[in-house]
């Protein structure tokens, strides 16, 4: 994947340097933004009250149905705040039985120049609401 000299949405709204450095690829930038979105609770960014996900503790009150709802919330947040990832679909994969850990696949397309890549990120949302995201599949 070639380097993209575009901008990172999160850097833009926080006033940081908008240019990606030489080592930061487009996919790495999107991954970093996904992690930021998934780990931010709505209301934490004063000037953008709907940035991030709702309080994760609501999930506990109506398991297992709420796991699909959380997937929809993830999809809505990414569609709005990660415009470089298009045709986003979030799919619930599994819930750990020993502790609360819900695994989702985030599938979308990334356009870089004339090339379109389909990419799948995996994220695990933990009991405390923290989440990580990493690439599990990428193809053109």
| Residue 114, domain CATH | 3.10.450.40
Task: Label residue 64 by pLDDT band (50, 70, 90).
Answer: confident
Q: How many Å apart are CA 40 and CA 30, to the nearest integer?
A: 15
Say which residue, 61 or 137, is predicted with more confidence. Answer: 137
Q: How many Å apart are CA 106 and CA 74, to the nearest integer?
A: 9
The residue segments making up the domain with residue 119 are: 9-139
Q: How many Å apart are CA 3 and CA 113, to the nearest integer?
A: 11
Q: How many Å apart are CA 88 and CA 67, to the nearest integer?
A: 17
Residue 125 domain-assigned (yes or no): yes
| Per-residue pLDDT at 78 | 96
> Considering its fold, how many domains does the chain have in total?
1
Q: How many Å apart are CA 15 and CA 68, to the nearest integer?
A: 34
As beta bridge partners, residue 124 has: 103, 132
Residue 1 domain-assigned (yes or no): no
């Amino acid at each position: 994947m070639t380097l993209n000299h575009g901008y990172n949405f999160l850097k833009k709204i926080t006033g940081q340097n908008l240019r990606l450095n030489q080592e930061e690829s487009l996919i790495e930038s999107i991954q970093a933004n996904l992690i930021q979105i998934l780990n931010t609770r709505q209301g934490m960014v004063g000037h953008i009250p709907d940035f991030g996900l709702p309080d994760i503790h609501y999930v506990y009150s109506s398991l297992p149905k709420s796991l699909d709802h959380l997937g929809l919330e993830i999809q809505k947040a990414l569609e709005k705040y990660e415009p470089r990832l298009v045709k986003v679909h979030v799919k619930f994969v599994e819930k750990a039985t020993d502790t609360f850990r819900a695994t989702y696949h985030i599938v979308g397309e990334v356009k870089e120049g004339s090339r379109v890549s389909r990419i799948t990120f995996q994220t695990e949302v933990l009991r405390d609401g923290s989440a990580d995201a990493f690439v599990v599949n990428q193809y053109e």
